[in-house]
A and B are shown apart, each in its own frame.
Chain A
């Protein structure tokens, strides 16, 4: 025999299998450890703290769950949010995340491990990322083999596209949702392969968990029916498809309606109708198959086809009719914005104003996925090569997710798993081809000799161990030639290579040098990938954004803790019922850290209420004051980055406030008023509406005094601010944090003497009123 390198031939097959499975377990363990460890940058660089905005709400809700129990949490009415409306929290959230943390908390406490709920919340996402790696391994194993599974697990473990949503402290729904997504898909594939109602039921149960955890469950609701429909249209209907889909849909849909926030949507909204339609279609097709088994008349089958088509048409018309009559809600706005990227900006500014709803810029594909993004198409092509039912799933998933990831930044998250899976398939095919010791000039060799290579590379041993089984399966085809030919020339040559099986021997991998050249290249790519992932994770995705870091000229780290400083000031110095008004971004943080009622928060369900805040911020003091008083506002909190150059501040978000307010009061607020000849300025040239707006005044109040008579500079906008700053009559400054990031103003009560606040203020400052009649009358009297 000819082999490129010698292999030990005295090993029994059981030893090989046992060693391979042991190595797999060790590798999976290491991958999990790496996945968890790389997410801990945030804890090490900063501290164990909840990040960003939404996680603060989840954390607050989890604290309620942990301290008061599940029923209290389920029925929780929060009077402090959306003052004065309040919010029925139990019915308006996806409770899966909090329930998971609550279960872990109670479990650990039952074991007498007094772990703080905050630490559970902070570390939940890294923990689940290890589970995601495992689920991806199982999923990819169904696509190719265990070695591809291990690669996929390693990829998903450290890929930045997933880390961006799952660093320690990023306690958000996505933290557990990606695991559930992958596991549901895995069980679906398994159910489809085996035709097992058991796996269908498991898929339904995990689907239920997913529905309870993340609004992105709609992705599954449409992916699985799409897959089933494509199989059906390709003439691949089998009883296994029927069993898998029916058991998943019947149980899963009923289960999803148990979540109060979802409610009757699965039978009422258009997003869910595709699944129902495919379900009905499958029933008809299955029944048709049953009839065909008993009647073999050709004419009868034609009739049957007509019946199926007419039933489908009637069903589709029925759904359209029901939508028309209003029984089924049409697509929601958020859904439209997926198809028409300009839709949200035109009709729902509140959706467009969220930065993660913007279309993705192309560099972020590389940033988030590195070399996986160009292995991804190769993997998809390899899927076309075999094109079993489960490969179709990866192809459809890849196409859909690529589109959605291009439309919305946050949907990069759903693209990441399929990229990892198909890149792993591609890379593992490459490794298989070049690690295979068979030389091409020999006829197909005996399989007993292909035993694992004692290699330093962790993945290569399972790879070649796997080879044994694979070779047995494909005994007919010459392994090296076939695999390589397909890899190089893709779909087109696949059929050709298979046909000229004897000629394929002439093509192939000769000698060790070619193998080393390719393998070293691949290993080099993998190493760069690891370096890139570590760098991106530590630099871009590990900032809590509650605490900011800046580096001094000598490289020392300087923490900017203005947010917490201000929130704790509120907590300590204001009555517990003091209502704080701020832009909605900071609502959850105020509720979570300062524990004060807020007017609006990140759960943007009430557009009018948000527009009210926008109007108050963007109109003059005289207009704003009644609004503030009517809503019992005691404090107004704004974020101002002009002093230290923090660009995510309220002046930069101000135009969104204007736009949202304009959507409700088009005749009072107009966006063009805030521009000076098309330019957005804050300096002397700023437009009058801008200069009079409450937001402008609050931001630059006393700002120029800081510069001691010099020209004041706004470091974010890079513009000179007027020497004479704005004056405030209805508000007074209550607190400004160290770096001026957070400024809090107290709303003055009505003047006790009944004057309007402007003249009262003027009197207090000792300014004389305009000389007018009363004075002259007094003179006349004397």
Chain B
């Protein structure tokens, strides 16, 4: 559900709509956000691989799976938060969060998240 491509195809069958979406995305989004989006796509892929491994192979060290998967999910939502905070369109919503502070928040959140991830890997 992350990258604009992945879950769109399931919800709509009109390929024209997708191509409009894609074109508008490519043309309107600032490069910074595209950079963040590529990171998001990478995280989604890593999460999907872990999930498939868990379903198809084994979930044996369940805590390790949970740690890895939560790392993906957590990092994804933190990055998505960063994305919406630095998005110029959302500026009026985040009056008190400047882009610099958003990045600092992101860094702090990631550190805390991965502290727990490492603790849980076992």
Q: Are A250 and B96 in contact (CB under 8 A)?
A: no
Binary flags per residue of B72-109, CB closer than 8 Å to A gives 1, else 0: 01100110111011010110011011000110111011
Determine whether B56 belongs to the interface, using a CB cutoff of 8 Å to chain A. Answer: no
Contact with A along B33-70 (1 / 0, CB 8 A): 00000000000000000000000000000110011001
Closest to B8 in A: A291
Kindly report which residue of chain A lies nearest to residue B103, judged by CB atoms. Answer: A197
Given known contacts A197-B102, A287-B7, is B12 in contact with A303 (CB within 8 Å)? yes
Which one of A61-69, A163-171, A235-243, A602-610 is at the interface? A235-243
Q: Which residue of B lies closest to A249 (CB)?
A: B77
* 0/1 interface trace, chain B 1-23, chain A, CB 8 Å (1 if under): 11010011011100001001100
Residues of A with C-beta under 8 A to B63: 257, 264
Instruction: Give every chain A residue within 8 A of B12 (Cβ-Cβ).
Output: 300, 303, 307
Q: Are B84 and A201 in contact, with the CB atoms below 8 A?
A: no
* A255 to B4 CA separation, bound complex (whole angstroms): 30
Interface majority SS on A: helix, strand, loop or mixed? helix
Cβ contact within 8 Å between A243 and B116 = no
B62 x A264 contact (CB < 8 A): yes
Q: Looking at the complex, which one of A196, A208, A291, A297 makes contact with B96 (CB distance below 8 Å)?
A: A196
A294 touches B116 (CB 8 A): no
Cβ-defined contact, A251 with B113, below 8 A:
yes
CB distance from A561 to the nearest CB of B (A): 46
Determine the distance from Cα of A297 to Cα of B18 in the docked complex, in whole angstroms: 12
Q: Check: A283 CB closer than 8 A to any chain B CB.
A: yes
What 1/0 flags go to A593-618 for Cβ under 8 Å of B?
Answer: 00000000000000000000000000
- Residues of B within 8 A of A (CB-CB), count: 48
Q: How distant is the Cα of A370 from the Cα of B12 in the complex, in angstroms?
A: 58
Contact A255 B116 (CB under 8 A): yes
When C-beta atoms are compared, the residue in chain A nearest to B11 turns out to be: A307
A287 with B112: in contact, given A197-B85, A242-B84, A254-B70 (CB under 8 Å)?
A: no
Name which residue of chain B comes closest to A199, CB basis: B105
Q: Which secondary structure dominates chain B's binding surface?
A: helix
> Which chain A residue lies CB-closest to B74?
A250
List A contacts of B117 (CB < 8 A): 254
Question: Once the chains bind, are B93 and A240 in contact (CB under 8 Å)?
Answer: yes
A510 interface residue (CB < 8 Å to B): no
Chain A residue numbers with a CB within 8 Å of B93 are 195, 238-240
**Residues on the B chain within 8 Å of A102, using CB:** none
Establish whether residues B17 and A295, one from each chain, have CB atoms under 8 Å apart when the complex forms: yes
Given known contacts A250-B70, A250-B113, A307-B12, A201 and B97 CB-to-CB distance under 8 angstroms = no
- Given contacts A283-B1, A293-B89, whether A304 and B11 have CB atoms under 8 Å apart is yes
Report whether B105 and A201 are in contact in the complex, using a CB–CB cutoff of 8 Å: yes
* CB-CB nearest in chain A for B117: A254
Pair B17/A297 contact, Cβ less than 8 Å: yes
* A residues 137-155 in Cβ contact with B at 8 Å: none
Contact B66 A198, beta carbon cutoff 8 Å: no
Min Cβ gap B33→A in Å is: 10
Chain A: interface residue total (CB-CB under 8 A): 43
- Enumerate chain A residues within 8 angstroms of B7, measured Cβ to Cβ: 287
Closest to A294 in B: B24
Q: Is the CB of A239 within 8 A of B116?
A: no
- Distance between Cα atoms of A201 and B115 in the complex (Å): 12
Of A258, A284, A306, the residue contacting B116 (CB under 8 A) is: A258
- Give A307 to B11 CA distance when docked, in angstroms: 5
A254→B85 contact, CB < 8 A: no
* B94–A294 touching, CB < 8 Å: no
CB distance from A306 to the nearest CB of B (A): 8
Are A243 and B119 within 8 A (Cβ)?
A: no
**Which of A251, A258, A264, A297 is within 8 Å of B112, CB to CB?**
A251
Q: Does A204 contact B (CB under 8 A)?
A: yes
Specify which chain B residues have a CB less than 8 angstroms from the CB of A297 in the assembled complex: 17, 20
Complex CA gap A201/B111 in Å reads: 10
**Bound state CA distance, A251 and B67, in angstroms?**
11
- Contact A247:B78 (CB < 8 A) given known A195-B93, A201-B112, A295-B24: yes
In the complex, what's the smallest C-beta–C-beta distance from A204 to chain B, in angstroms? 7
Flag if A197 contacts B24 (CB, 8 Å). Answer: no
Contacts of A243 in B (CB 8 A): 81, 84-85
B101 to chain A, nearest CB (A): 8
A51 to B105, CA, bound (A): 43
Say whether A198 contacts B105, CB under 8 Å.
Answer: yes
Name the one of A240, A254, A284 contacting B67, with C-beta atoms under 8 angstroms. A254
Q: What separation, in Å, do the CA atoms of A238 and B81 have in the docked complex?
A: 12
CB pairs A–B below 8 angstroms (12 shown): A196-B96, A197-B102, A197-B105, A239-B90, A247-B78, A250-B73, A251-B112, A254-B74, A254-B117, A286-B80, A286-B84, A307-B10
Given contacts A283-B1, A295-B20, 11 further A-B pairs with CB under 8 A are: A198-B101, A243-B85, A246-B78, A251-B74, A254-B117, A257-B66, A258-B119, A283-B77, A294-B4, A294-B28, A295-B21
